[in-house]
């Protein structure tokens, strides 16, 4: 067993029967579980026990699944390596001595290590797809609004979605069938875009005959040479099965990482203001006025990466800088969305390496946050565009896992699942 996969290993039994009866599930520790600690990987919530279940957890229970633990994660979902967790880093079962990816690293590691059949994570800028790629498993980032966010501790509301992990595409799709759908407690959700009798799992046929694949050249620029070679090997395998590819351009992705971090950090600054040491969570033992207690609580309760993002987000939203940074980032987001829509008008799916590099060594990027941010270059544009994506194992480079990312049109999960199942 890989170390530190779970923060809490308390089992939660589901209904006696259902489509997931006998299935074990790891749940990322930013998803609320009634009566069971939900820490978000932070000292701030180290002892927090929610009084309610997230919608996805209620649906898991109703489907008969057994939740075997709350999976480790980067603190409040902020990180690409799973090393910002207050509870320690997770070792990668597929590449010992390497990071499992973040922020849902514990969830991916649980599946890769055989500690759970499937798992749930959350994806704000690649936090399902990155660990799926690094751990050699399948991860799906659904279209924004397909899965309820009720009970997900908020990091960046306009970007994040809960998504499934599985050893195979079909496994992940079966979990998506359970958690997807309209929820009256989340106004951003929509009814399932499925015909009567259709499911996501039954789309995992592996039939890619005639599939048109667009390859954005910008998402190959600067990628590790071994990663690129493995990516093209996977494309060749899809071609052998009847797919065709052509190159496309997404000029806006040059600005996607900058736009993403301005938007995400700004939303995080607002969302994390609720942790004041008064209502719930860590409270510093400080003498003096409320302001001193508030400051001490946040100094003790948050880790360095969370503090960094709160500071930058607060700055971007401050008077005199809102239009200079946040408004421009939103304009760039609209540009990214237009580019994806145009590229998908001539292609069924878009393909790229999920991550431009293989898994980092443990500790390699901790002192270089910019390196960590830039590693998200291929994943964050998808969140800005509110589109679905999937990461599947493409092969290895120097013995390290490499993921293939497929991106589809809004609510085109069945198309992605059909294409991805040709490889996994």
In this predicted model, what pLDDT tens digit does every residue of 251-277 receive, in sequence order? Answer: 999 999 999 999 999 999 999 999 998
Which DSSP helix (H) or strand (E) runs through 214? strand 212-216
Cβ of 172: how many Cβ atoms within 10 Å?
Answer: 33
pLDDT tens digits for range 116-138:
999 999 999 999 999 999 999 99
CA distance 118 to 307: 32
Per-residue confidence (pLDDT) for residue 368, from 0 to 100: 83
CA distance 94 to 101: 11
Which residues partner with 213 through β-bridges? 245, 349
Per-residue confidence (pLDDT) for residue 2, from 0 to 100: 65
Per-residue confidence (pLDDT) for residue 404, from 0 to 100: 98
Of 90, 62, 71, nearest in space to 25 by CA: 71
Burial 126-160 (b: 16+ CB within 10 A, else e): bbbbbbbbbbbbbbbbbbbbbbbbbbbbbbbebbb
Per-residue confidence (pLDDT) for residue 280, from 0 to 100: 84
**Active-site annotation holder among 28, 61, 70, 141:** 28
Per-residue confidence (pLDDT) for residue 364, from 0 to 100: 87
Burial 239-270 (b: 16+ CB within 10 A, else e): eeeebebeebebebbebbbebbbbbbbbbbbe
CA distance 184 to 384: 24
Q: What is the pTM of this model?
A: 0.97
Per-residue confidence (pLDDT) for residue 203, from 0 to 100: 98
Cβ of 228: how many Cβ atoms within 10 Å?
Answer: 18
Is 402:230 a contact under the CB 8 Å cutoff? yes
Which two three-digit tokens encode residue 177?
């069938």
CA neighbours closer than 13 Å in the CB half-sphere of residue 32: 17
Distances (CA, A) of 411 to 25, 48, 173, 387: 24, 35, 14, 7
Q: Give the strand order in the sheet containing 349-353.
A: 6-8, 66-71, 24-28, 118-123, 161-166, 138-141, 389-397, 400-407, 349-353, 212-216, 244-248
Which two three-digit tokens encode residue 233?
């090997």
Residue 155: phi and psi, rounded to 5, are -115, -65
Q: Is the dihedral of CA 272, 355, 336, 140 positive or negative?
A: negative
**Active-site annotation holder among 58, 85, 89, 103:** 103
Q: Which residues of the chain have pLDDT under 50?
A: none
Task: Return contacts of 12-16, CB within 8 angstroms, 24+ apart.
Answer: 12/36, 12/57, 12/61, 12/66, 12/67, 13/61, 13/66, 14/60, 14/61, 14/62, 14/63, 14/64, 14/65, 14/66, 14/67, 15/61, 15/62, 15/63, 15/64, 16/64
DSSP 67-113: EEEEEP-SGGG--SSS-S-TT-----TTSTTB---SSSHHHHHHHHT
Residue 32: phi and psi, rounded to 5, are -65, 135
Is 41:151 a contact under the CB 8 Å cutoff? no
**Active-site annotation holder among 2, 85, 127, 283:** 127
Q: How many residues does the chain have?
A: 424
Q: Among this protein's residues, is 28 annotated catalytic?
A: yes
- Crossing angle, helix 256-271 and helix 328-344, to 10 degrees? 130
Is 109:25 a contact under the CB 8 Å cutoff? no
Which two three-digit tokens encode residue 204?
């995992």
Which two three-digit tokens encode residue 86?
């207050």
Per-residue confidence (pLDDT) for residue 172, from 0 to 100: 98
Distances (CA, A) of 9 to 4, 5, 182: 11, 9, 30
CA distance 107 to 134: 12
Is 141:165 a contact under the CB 8 Å cutoff? no
């Amino acid at each position: 067993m890989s170390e530190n996969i779970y923060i809490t290993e308390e089992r939660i039994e589901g209904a006696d029967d259902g489509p997931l009866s006998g299935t074990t599930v790891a749940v990322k520790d930013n998803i609320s579980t009634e009566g069971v600690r939900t820490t978000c990987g932070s000292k701030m919530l180290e002892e927090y026990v929610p009084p309610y279940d997230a919608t996805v957890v209620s649906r898991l229970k109703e489907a008969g699944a057994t939740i075997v633990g709350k999976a480790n994660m980067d603190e409040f979902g902020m990180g690409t390596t799973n090393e910002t967790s207050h509870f320690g880093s997770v070792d990668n079962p597929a590449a010992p001595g390497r990071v499992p990816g973040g922020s849902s690293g514990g969830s991916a590691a649980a599946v890769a290590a055989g500690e759970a059949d499937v798992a749930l994570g959350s994806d704000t800028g690649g936090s399902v797809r990155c660990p799926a790629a690094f751990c050699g498993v399948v991860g799906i980032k659904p279209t924004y609004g397909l899965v309820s966010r009720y009970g997900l501790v908020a990091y960046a509301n306009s970007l994040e979605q809960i998504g499934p992990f599985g050893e195979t595409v079909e496994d992940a799709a079966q979990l998506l069938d359970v958690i997807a759908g309209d929820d009256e407690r989340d106004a951003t959700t929509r009814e399932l875009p499925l015909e009567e009798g259709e499911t996501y799992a039954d789309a995992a046929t592996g039939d890619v005959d005639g599939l048109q694949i667009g390859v954005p050249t910008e998402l190959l620029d600067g990628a590790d040479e071994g990663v690129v070679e493995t990516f093209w090997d996977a494309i060749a395998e899809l071609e052998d099965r009847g797919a065709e590819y052509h190159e496309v351009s997404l000029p806006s992705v040059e600005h996607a990482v900058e736009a993403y971090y301005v938007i995400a950090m700004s939303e995080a600054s607002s969302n994390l203001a609720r942790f004041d040491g008064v209502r719930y969570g860590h409270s510093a033992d400080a003498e003096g006025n409320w302001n001193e207690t508030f400051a001490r609580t946040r100094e003790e309760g948050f880790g360095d990466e969370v503090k960094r993002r709160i500071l930058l987000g607060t700055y971007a939203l401050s008077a005199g800088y809102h239009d200079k940074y946040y408004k421009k980032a939103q304009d760039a987001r609209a540009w990214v969305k237009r580019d994806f829509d145009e590229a998908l008008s001539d292609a069924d799916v878009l393909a790229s390496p999920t991550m431009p590099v293989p898994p980092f060594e443990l500790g390699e990027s901790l002192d270089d946050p910019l390196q960590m941010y830039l590693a998200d270059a291929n994943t964050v544009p998808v969140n800005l565009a509110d589109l679905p994506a999937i990461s599947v194992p493409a092969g290895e480079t120097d013995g390290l896992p490499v993921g293939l990312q497929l991106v589809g049109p809004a609510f085109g999960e069945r198309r992605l699942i059909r294409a991805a199942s040709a490889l996994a």
